[in-house]
Structure 1
Amino acid sequence: MATEVFATTERLVVRRFEPADVAAFAAYRSEPAVARYQVWSAPVPVADARHLVTEFATAAEQEPGWFQYAVEAGGVLVGDVAICRHDNGMQAELGFTLATAHQGRGYATEAVRSVLDRVFATGVRRVSAECDARNTASARLLERLGFQREGLRREHSWLKGEWTDDLLFGLLAREWRVS
């Protein structure tokens, strides 16, 4: 059975997760630098990764809740982009993760852009995102894509034994420039 491809860019394939992704998914999600600002802790056991990848592989893309897109470069899983659709079908939240070895090449920007193109094409009116205020790389990526910084929640999240500040971002469909 062929893997469902959602988008292709010059360098990437954005597709549905498949069972063969378990090892690579567990590996990059286990990197301390990747997990630093995320809700999970490293390492991610292979059994946990298998469970998650199985859920991702069978999820319905257009349904309310989280949907995870696999991001592949040169035939290798390098990260993922997630969209959480609101029950009303008009709002969504964005998340993204990229393996350390593949950061700094524009892959995350390229992958997120392709997912946003897809999401806004379905009638979503607004996409929001938040990140740890110390995660300057993610904040810059969101700003590059046109997200507006909408707020700062001081000491809002208890994460890995400390209170962290959260930056809030939003992007409206009318502001999105489909590339």
Structure 2
Amino acid sequence: MLIATERLVLRRFRPADAEVLAGYRSDPEVARYQSWDAPFSLLRAETAVANFMASDPDKAGWFQYAVEHADEKVLIGDVAVHLHDNLKQAELGFTVAAAYQKRGFAAEAVTAVIDRLFRVQGLHKVSGECDARNAASAGLMERLGFTREGHLRQQTWIKGEWTDDLIYGLLAEEWLLGRA
């Protein structure tokens, strides 16, 4: 376990998580604004989990937190962090299985990860990016105190169309002041 919250355990991925990961990433609604296509095969999930397990949250590169419901002991999503080479900035992304959406789990998980990034790892800035049509992700970042820093028109070619991206940023001083 890396982080515990009231309802969640954020931990490293395990081989047994591959089937659940494939399941929620295969949901077309979950995959709609993400970089992967549904269905997300079990083989692809097993490869992803192996890569997740090989990464380190304190080193530059991508790290994926497995988000587990503490009471149900089931994987309900993941939070990705791309730690920059300078170890002072990171980009994050998040995914929650459809059955666990709209219940505050994404906010709880992302809050815990951001808190670790600023308080434990001493980062200066965390950024996030989402498809401009993804009101739920944009709304979550705004509720957590992120500032919308940009709207990139027709920035990403994904799933057969050009999409706009929203860029968000959160500084350590803003986070720590808001949590004092």
TM over 0.5: yes
State the partner residue of 1:126. 125
Secondary structure in 2 aligned to 1:104? coil
State the partner residue of 2:48. 52
**Match of 2:125, as an amino acid?**
R
Distance in 2, matches of 1:57 and 1:153, equals 33
Secondary structure in 1 aligned to 2:2? strand
Unmatched runs of 5 consecutive residues or more in structure 2: none
State the partner residue of 2:6. 10
**Match of 2:77, as an amino acid?**
G
Matches within 5 A, 1:22-171: 22-73=18-69, 74-121=72-119, 122-171=121-170
Q: Calculate the TM-score normalised by the size of structure 2.
A: 0.95
Distance in 2, matches of 1:165 and 1:55, equals 29
**Cα offsets for 1:55-110 (capped at 9, x unmatched):** 11121111111100000112000000011000011110010000011000000000
Distance in 1, matches of 2:88 and 2:4, equals 24
Identity %: 58
Distance in 2, matches of 1:108 and 1:39, equals 18
Distance in 2, matches of 1:16 and 1:84, equals 15
**Match of 2:118, as an amino acid?**
F
Unmatched runs of 5 consecutive residues or more in structure 1: none
Distance in 1, matches of 2:146 and 2:78, equals 19
Structure 1 segments of 4 or more deviating over 3 A? none
Distance in 2, matches of 1:109 and 1:28, equals 18
**Match of 1:116, as an amino acid?**
I
Q: Calculate the TM-score normalised by the size of structure 1.
A: 0.96
State the partner residue of 2:16. 20
**Cα offsets for 1:92-146 (capped at 9, x unmatched):** 0010000011000000000000001111121110001010000000000000110
Secondary structure in 2 aligned to 1:170? strand
